[in-house]
Structure 1
Amino acid sequence: MARLQPIGEQLIGSPARAALYKRGKPLLREQPALSADLLHCLSKLPLPWRSLGIVINMTLEEVLTQKTTERAECTGQALEEVLVTAMDNHSLTVGVYECAKVMNLDPDSASFCVLAVDEDFECDIALQIHFTLIQSFCFDNDISIVRVSDMQRLAEIVADKSEHLEDAHCVLITNPADGAWEDPSLEKLHLFCEESRRLNDWVPEISLPGR
């Protein structure tokens, strides 16, 4: 665990150090080399911790968790772009039962899964069971999976203008018949899921951008 400590009286041992301290330039004890991720996150913190010498205790896991949360917001736009592209390429399946059918008949075609909850999710035991089964299937078959909390917004993205979707709790992106996707936005989503799994976040949540 990297720890930054403000200079105290016990550290002001030389005239040069004392002069720096009086000019408002607190010194830090020598610490082990920090990771690039940790240094990046520390550089984004507000200035008071540098100027006032506030003690910071943050594990690398906490830093990476914060970074993953911020990245989840940024990947919302990528998810919307991928959904629109998949719909245009007829590589999108919508609905819990429809997605489960595709996974059962052709699991190798599944590339990316999106689960969406609404206000009735906590009371719908059957839907919760389906979510658990779909998640287990994705884990066993190395399929990237994420969750969104706004099912209505997801339905607006994946629905045709002429129809209204009642079941957009699950959306499955499948590979085209001629091979795997080579979409930069989809690759970004796969990397996001991979990083989240390293932090034991197996179904990370993504915030879809507003209208």
Structure 2
Amino acid sequence: MCISNVTEDKCKMINRSKLGRAVRGVLTRAKVEQRLICGLLPAIAYLEKAPDDVVLCVLPQTRPGDAATHIQSTLLQAFCYENYIPVIQVNNSEKLAGYCGVSQKAGCNCAVITRCSPPTPDSPEVEIPLSPSEQILSDFYECTLEEFPQPVIELPI
């Protein structure tokens, strides 16, 4: 009983109007820290190799009539769900691509944020603690897990 009250309180405290900025900030920080993987094939390769090292998966809403992308997105969401990886849906693949540093014309059909920065010859792999924004997005995912349809976050300019 107490656990559900804590969860409900946490869910009520999430300001949904600021989630788009949180997504942008998380993607920007992860890109700088080299913890961002953009694109479906690189994301799948990483997820197969180290699903426990993934903090968050960001997927754009699929466009009507794009069955192939919809199927890929659905399978990726199912994989993430089975591996307890939060999935955040956003409204625009071009904006997502811009935040990831990918060509906006091509768009971005997936972005994965990892826990660790890649190892270099000078330093080993370093696990980075969740930022406050990453924690908010993870909490938002947990709070909306049973909502149907899943909420879509509108990305800022």
Which of the five TM-score ranges fits, normalised by the shorter chain? 0.7 to 0.9
Deviation (angstroms), 1:154: 1.3
8 Å contact from structure 1 (residues 145, 203) kept in 2 = no
Residue 175 of structure 1 deviates from its aligned partner by 0.8
Q: Distance in 2 between matches of 1:112 and 1:147?
A: 11
The one-character-per-residue Cα deviations of 1:76-117 (angstroms, maximum 9, x if unpaired) are 111111100000000001111111111112111111011113
Write out per-residue CA displacement over residues 115-141 of structure 1, whole angstroms, 9 at most, x where no aligned residue: 1136xx222221111111110011101
Aligned counterparts of 1:193 and 1:201: Cα–Cα separation in 2:
12
Highest relative contact order (Cα 8 Å, sep 6+), 1 or 2?
Answer: 2
Partner of 1:194: 142
The 2-side partners of 1:191 and 1:164 are apart by 29
Q: CA deviation at 1:204?
A: 3.0
Residues 1-211 of structure 1 mapped to structure 2, 5 A cutoff:
71-117=15-61, 121-159=63-101, 164=104, 166-176=106-116, 177-197=125-145, 199-201=146-148, 203-210=150-157
CA deviation profile, 1:6-54 (whole Å, cap 9, x unmatched) = xxxxxxxxxxxxxxxxxxxxxxxxxxxxx9xxxxxxxxxxxxxxxxxxx
Q: Distance in 2 between matches of 1:84 and 1:71?
A: 20
Aligned residues: 141
Q: Tell me the secondary structure at the aligned position of residue 41 of structure 2.
A: helix
Identical columns (%): 27
Deviation readout 1:180-200 (Å, 9 max, x if unpaired) = 533111111111111112x43
Q: Is the 8 A contact 1:146 1:203 kept in 2?
A: no
Deviation at 1:72, TM superposition (A): 2.8
Distance in 2 (alpha carbons) for counterparts of 1:133 and 1:174: 19
In structure 1, how many angstroms separate the alpha carbons of the residues matched to 2:21 and 2:61? 19
SS at structure 1 position matched to 2:126: coil
**What residue ranges of structure 2 are gaps of 5+ in the alignment?**
6-10, 117-124
Once residues 168 and 112 of structure 1 are traced to their aligned partners in structure 2, the CA distance between those partners, rounded to angstroms, is 15
The gaps in structure 1 that reach 5 residues or longer are 1-34, 36-63
* Partners of 1:178 and 1:76 in 2: CA distance: 27
Match of 1:28 in 2: none
How does the TM-score come out when normalised to structure 1?
0.59
